[in-house]
Amino acid sequence: MSVAPVAITWAVAGVVAALLLPRARRRRLAALVPLAAAVAALTSLGGGADLIAASAPGGLLLGRSASGLVLLCALAATLCLLLAPPPDGGEVLVLAACGALSAVALAAGSPLVWGICFVAGTALLGVRWVAAAPARATLAAARVGTLGAAAMTAASPFLPVDVAAVPPRAHLAGALLAGGIAAGFGLVPLGGWVAGGGRLVRGAALAPWALLLLPALLLTVQPLQAVFPSAARVTFGAILLPAGAISAVWAAARGLSAPDDQRYPRVLLADLGLVAMGLATPQPAARLGSLLLMLTHLCVGPLLVQDPAGAAPRPRRLAWVALSGIPPGPAFWGRFALVTALTSGFGGTLLLAVLPVTGAMLVISVRAVVAAPRAVPAAAPGPAARLAAWVPALAALTVGLLPSASLHALLGVG
């Protein structure tokens, strides 16, 4: 199906909401913007060919996985805005722009259009973060995030991958794409912007990256390892594997000592490190594990990106349980599949890095569960917000109980 209805819905609803809602003083209605996009995505669900980056001319058709992801992202953004309405129209506008751009990126057959969507999305996100909280960390988000996406566009003239088999060209294409992914995922040494931004912005301001751009980037780069020529595959893996391992260990270690409101970004970064390691291997289990971890974070993200002081403690506790890695939580299945793929692809040595990370994330989650009852919401939430707070945690548990059925139903995978 064409991506046009979803992208146009995102754009039009975003502009209308940004212009009208602040005047009408109805900030809670901002959730209607991603909800409208979700309805548009629902009508276009099914059909189409799966995207292989740098595939073929024509493009702008959503595959089954892509249309499922667009729907999930829009629903996650809806929940996020229900739980914490944006402070002004600019927030809604950036969210809608990133939603439209991520949908187009998911549908793009041209690597150039794909890359430009991420450049525009990360640049807008950076500008918004700087406007919301001017600081070194938010400026770094604009600098590094945009430059990383720009590196991916720079790779596009050296693609498609099947003719990029000549060594200097293959190495350059692989390195540029891996560098762009590392910047977008917030991997060490390019990840300071996520950690710093996570300290300064919360809720709807974090949603465009965590709930819209990041899942689109992950889904679109997953086929690369399988379609790259061997020279590009070596460079791609040589960058992402160590960067992912160091990022996962570093983020998990920092998460152990992080205060309550900064735990979730650290866990997300640690999981992204594991996912980046999974991108370095063409094993199918790595793909499934990455998708399950992405689904988990799409489920719990809308709740856990909020300020703990403003969120209901019980659903928050349940969300942390789903994220802890205890079976049958969805994070357990995702990390288990990833670890299995990594050990069969690179040997057991990687367990030295991966197992402490999973252990640390369990400890972080336990600490968060213990801390959750102490956090008292500043104001009593309305019935819609109370209901919305339970949805992410319950959705995550459902994914954990039925992992392969969820992947098949939501993304058409498995």
Partner 1 sequence: MAPNEPLLAGVGFLAAVVVTLVDGRHAVTYAAVAAAVGLMPSVAAFYGADAVLVLAGAAALTGLAGPLSSALAHRVSWMAGVDPLVPVVAGSEALFGPRSIRVAAAVLVLPAASWVSFNVPLGSASTVSGVLFPAALVWGCAGMRLLSARTLLDIAVGVAALGIAVAAAWFLAAGVDTLSGAMTAAAAAPGAAITAGWLRGRHGAARPARASP
Binding residues for partner 1 (CB under 8 A)? 22-23, 54, 56-59, 88-90, 109-113, 115-116, 119-120, 123-124, 126-127, 130-131, 134-136, 138-139, 142-144, 146-147, 150-151, 153-154, 156-160, 163, 166, 168-169, 172
Tell me the closest approach of the beta carbon of residue 303 to partner 1, in angstroms.
29
d(CA 307, CA 202): 6
Is the C-alpha dihedral spanning 4, 279, 358, 183 positive or negative? Answer: negative
Residues 182, 239 contacting (CB under 8 angstroms): yes
Q: Which residue has the tokens 């040589």?
A: 238
The first and second tokens of residue 116, run together, are: 């430009």
Tell me the closest approach of the beta carbon of residue 102 to partner 1, in angstroms.
15
Tell me the closest approach of the beta carbon of residue 142 to partner 1, in angstroms.
5
> Between residues 166 and 370, which has the closer beta carbon with respect to partner 1?
166
Q: Quick one: how far is CA 177 from the chain centroid?
A: 17
Tell me the closest approach of the beta carbon of residue 123 to partner 1, in angstroms.
5
Tell me the closest approach of the beta carbon of residue 202 to partner 1, in angstroms.
19
Residues 329, 366 contacting (CB under 8 angstroms): no
> Between residues 8 and 362, which has the closer beta carbon with respect to partner 1?
8
By CB atoms closer than 10 A (0-12, 13-18, 19+), residue 327 is exposed
Residues 146, 124 contacting (CB under 8 angstroms): no
Tell me the closest approach of the beta carbon of residue 132 to partner 1, in angstroms.
9
Residues 293, 331 contacting (CB under 8 angstroms): yes
Q: Which residue has the tokens 């754009």?
A: 11
> Between residues 153 and 306, which has the closer beta carbon with respect to partner 1?
153
> Between residues 54 and 364, which has the closer beta carbon with respect to partner 1?
54
> Between residues 61 and 292, which has the closer beta carbon with respect to partner 1?
61
> Between residues 169 and 367, which has the closer beta carbon with respect to partner 1?
169
In sequence order, the 6+-apart residues with CB closer than 8 A to the CB of 24 are none
Which residues is 2 bridged to in the sheet? 61
> Between residues 180 and 244, which has the closer beta carbon with respect to partner 1?
180
Residues 212, 102 contacting (CB under 8 angstroms): yes
Tell me the closest approach of the beta carbon of residue 200 to partner 1, in angstroms.
12
